[in-house]
């Protein structure tokens, strides 16, 4: 076997692995779980290993370096810096690993999967996958199914199609990227009549899939993508009539769906309360903005919005948001102006490259084409799809879902690879020092990401096992201890272990004082790993109260209250502490405030408020 033939095998292997990870990620609920993401990582890291082999099998290879690569590399380096300087190592490390992995996949695809045949494979695979997910979503919508595979969807997502994603908005994000690819290939792709019919049918099914997600952000962003797509198509005489006919059919179908579907009308009506636009995600923007203002240039740290949220929580939001539901504000809060500028520069450079390559892929000096072309179809469809997700990112956090983020990253790499048609200056010789440097970086990435991914998957397996066991049982504690042994930087696991000991101490069996001290040690570990973790301080105070050390407990409650001043749970427990001190009048104020923050499903405040009032009446 000669080197050229072996190189071709390695190249096809990389293309298949990239395609496989793009298919598996959406099918595994978006690859949001550590175990599922590790499978995706394994495929990507294997492809990176094949890239190393290609560089040494065929020494004369050149590297393709588009301008956007500088922004990608700088942001990866900046994320590494912010990880090393972050307050919460565990959260920052997880985010850095994702960014580093996405950056390596971008460079991998840019330099190994740029041939036209691969982009066509990609379109067919993604459109077919989008159709399958859409069929599943339509089934969920029409049957009111509560399942995603064997998982039960949260109550707020019932009655909406989500396909293999848990959140319907994330399915809409995936489909809105794929739909323009299908439609562009349908109208201007150089494909057979049978393929055109199949892609046309699949595109209509995908459109229906977006519809049944009942995702307002998905509908808006899809509308923007289609407007861009049809604006370009209508400008060309060769495709004007088919595009207009399809557009009329599309508008008619969408109008009928909106009018006939009661759930759609309710979704829009739910946004308007007393003539004012209302949505819980908009209330998350204010604390995100405040976090950014307090960390203007560098940001709070990778994935730090969620741990910091309680400190900035508005009174009307008594939930854990996880993300901002606005990728732009999330980036500002986590990475500051510097990180936001790098991400913004990546997309600016990307679209500058698209503008530059457009006339080359359309074979026209004015950017308009009169014949079918797979290159122009892909560039048009991919650009419209990325525009769609960028619009949707104003209202959701699709870019924090690995399946959608990887799809965007691969599309960006494919689009950037088209710069090779404009000039040879983007190709650079891969001399020995460069090959050694790139090999070392890729080997580091493979080892570091692989080791952490395997560790996260093992930790996740033990945490899932603990979740299925009886709460606070010795068996559950052993599972949690095993998870903490694997990942000793996870503050939430330390907290749950402390909770297990606290619950045991509350049984008041002989030796309960020592058990309470053990619980305090674990809560201190949790707050040491995350100094913003209000509940860790809260539980330490409770254990001290249980040991009749009320004055010492006071400082911990005040720390918790400072870190979560508007949290109903924290406020109620401060009231509980005052009950232990027999300061019932002060306790009543905290319980009433807690109930004002959350009137329903607040048993501690409700029951102890009645107790406190009764004790006040009984006292002299």
The string of pLDDT tens digits covering residues 48-74 is 999 999 999 987 789 999 999 999 999
546: CB partners within 8 A, 6+ apart: 502, 505, 506, 516
pLDDT at 160 over 50: yes
Which residue from 391, 333, 26, 384 is spatially nearest to 215, judged by alpha carbons? Answer: 391
Given the DSSP bridges, would you call strands 272-273 and 276-277 parallel, antiparallel or unpaired?
A: antiparallel
- The pLDDT of 94-107, averaged and rounded, is 98
What is the C-alpha to C-alpha distance for residues 259 and 265, in angstroms, rounded to an integer? 8
Q: Give the torsion through C-alpha atoms of 277, 390, 450, 531, to 10 deg.
A: -40
Predicted local distance difference test score (pLDDT) of residue 267: 53
Asked if the model's pLDDT at residue 583 lies above 50, the reply is: yes
| Position 270 confidence tier, pLDDT thresholds 50, 70, 90 | low
Predicted pLDDT at 272: 46
Residue 88 pLDDT exceeds 50: yes
Residue 260 predicted with pLDDT over 80: no
The domain segmentation of the chain, as residue ranges, is 448-618
Confidence of residue 133 (pLDDT cuts 50, 70, 90): very high
* pLDDT bucket at 620, cuts 50 / 70 / 90: low
Q: In the predicted model, is pLDDT for residue 26 greater than 60?
A: yes
Q: How far is CA 41 from CA 34, 47, 98, 228, 595, in A?
A: 10, 10, 9, 34, 45
How many CB atoms are closer than 10 A to CB 451? 10
Which residue has tokens 């990180």? Answer: 339
pLDDT, mean over the chain: 93
From 409, 399, 280, select the one nearest 330 (Cα to Cα).
Answer: 399
Average pLDDT over residues 148-169: 95
Q: Which two tokens stand for residue 108?
A: 């991998």
Q: How confident is the model at residue 540 (pLDDT cuts 50, 70, 90)?
A: very high
Average pLDDT over every residue of 107-123 = 95
pLDDT at 463: 97
Which tokens is 530 given?
């995350």
Q: Are 28 and 164 in contact (CB under 8 A)?
A: yes
Residue 282: which residues within 8 A CB-CB, separation 6 or more?
Answer: none
Q: Tell the CATH superfamily of the 448-618 domain.
A: Tetratricopeptide repeat domain (1.25.40.10)
Q: Which region among 155-159, 301-305, 331-335, 598-602 has the lowest average model confidence (pLDDT)?
A: 155-159
Which of 121-130, 362-371, 456-465, 531-540 bottoms out in mean pLDDT, i.e. has the lowest?
362-371
* Tens digit of each residue's pLDDT (9 = 90 or more) over 456-503: 999 999 999 999 999 999 999 999 999 999 999 999 999 999 999 999
366 pLDDT higher than 70: no
How far apart are alpha carbons 520 and 526 in whole angstroms?
A: 10
Give dist(CA 447, CA 466) in Å, integer.
29
pLDDT at 19 (0 to 100): 97
Give CB contacts under 8 A, 24+ apart, made by 269-273.
271/216
Confidence of residue 261 (pLDDT cuts 50, 70, 90): low
Token pair, residue 116, equals: 């036209």
């Amino acid at each position: 076997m000669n080197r050229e033939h072996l190189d071709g095998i390695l190249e096809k292997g990389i293309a298949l692995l990239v395609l496989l990870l793009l298919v598996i990620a959406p099918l595994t609920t978006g690859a949001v779980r550590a175990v599922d993401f590790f499978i995706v990582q394994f495929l990507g890291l294997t492809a990176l290993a094949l890239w190393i082999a290609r560089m040494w099998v065929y020494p004369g290879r050149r590297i393709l370096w588009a301008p956007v690569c500088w922004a990608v590399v700088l942001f990866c380096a900046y994320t590494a810096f912010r990880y090393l300087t972050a307050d919460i190592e565990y959260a920052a490390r997880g985010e850095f690993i994702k960014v580093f992995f996405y950056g390596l996949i971008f460079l991998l695809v840019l330099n190994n999967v740029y041939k036209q045949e691969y982009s066509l494979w990609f379109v067919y695979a993604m459109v077919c996958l989008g159709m399958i997910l859409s069929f599943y979503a339509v089934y969920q919508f029409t049957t009111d199914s509560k399942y995603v595979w064997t998982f039960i969807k949260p109550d707020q997502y019932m009655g909406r199609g989500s396909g293999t994603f848990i959140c319907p908005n994330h399915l809409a994000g995936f489909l809105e990227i794929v739909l323009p690819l299908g439609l562009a290939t349908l109208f201007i792709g150089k494909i057979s009549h049978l393929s055109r019919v199949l892609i046309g049918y699949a595109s209509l099914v995908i459109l229906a899939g977006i519809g049944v997600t009942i995702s307002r952000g998905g509908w808006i962003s899809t509308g923007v993508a289609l407007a861009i797509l049809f604006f370009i198509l209508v400008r060309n005489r060769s495709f004007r009539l088919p595009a207009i006919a399809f557009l009329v059919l599309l508008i008619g179908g969408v109008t009928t769906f909106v009018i006939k579907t009661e759930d759609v009308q309710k979704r829009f009506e739910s946004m308007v309360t007393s003539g004012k636009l209302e949505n819980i995600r908009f209330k998350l923007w204010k604390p995100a903005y405040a976090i950014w203002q307090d960390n203007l240039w560098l940001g709070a740290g990778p994935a730090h919005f969620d741990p910091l949220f309680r400190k900035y929580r508005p009174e009307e939001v008594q939930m854990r948001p996880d993300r901002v539901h606005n990728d732009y504000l999330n980036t500002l809060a986590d990475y500051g102006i510097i990180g936001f500028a790098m991400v913004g520069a990546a997309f600016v450079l990307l679209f500058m490259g698209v503008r530059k390559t457009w006339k080359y892929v359309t074979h026209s000096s004015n950017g308009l084409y009169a014949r079918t072309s797979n290159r122009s179809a892909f560039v048009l469809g991919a650009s419209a799809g990325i525009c769609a997700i960028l619009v949707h990112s104003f209202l959701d956090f699709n870019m924090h879902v690995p399946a959608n983020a990887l799809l965007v990253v691969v599309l960006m790499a494919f689009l950037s690879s088209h710069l090779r048609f404009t000039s040879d200056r983007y190709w650079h010789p891969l001399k020995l020092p460069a090959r050694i440097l790139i090999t070392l970086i890729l080997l580091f990435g493979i080892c570091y990401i692989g080791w952490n991914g395997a560790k996260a998957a093992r930790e996740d397996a033990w945490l899932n096992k603990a979740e299925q066991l009886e709460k606070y049982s010795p068996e559950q504690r052993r599972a949690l201890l095993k998870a903490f042994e694997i990942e000793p930087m996870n503050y939430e696991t330390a907290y749950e272990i402390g909770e297990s000991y606290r619950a045991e101490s509350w049984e008041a069996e002989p030796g309960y004082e020592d058990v309470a001290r053990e619980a305090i040690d674990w809560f201190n570990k949790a707050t040491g790993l995350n100094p913003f973790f209000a509940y860790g301080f809260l539980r330490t105070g409770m254990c001290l109260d249980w040991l009749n050390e009320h004055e010492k407990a006071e400082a911990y409650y005040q720390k918790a209250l400072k870190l979560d001043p508007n949290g109903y749970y924290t406020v109620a427990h401060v009231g509980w502490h005052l009950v232990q001190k027999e300061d019932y009048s002060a306790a009543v104020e905290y319980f009433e405030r807690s109930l004002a923050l959350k009137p329903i499903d607040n048993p501690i405040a409700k029951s102890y408020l009645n107790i406190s009032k009764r004790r006040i009446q009984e006292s002299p």
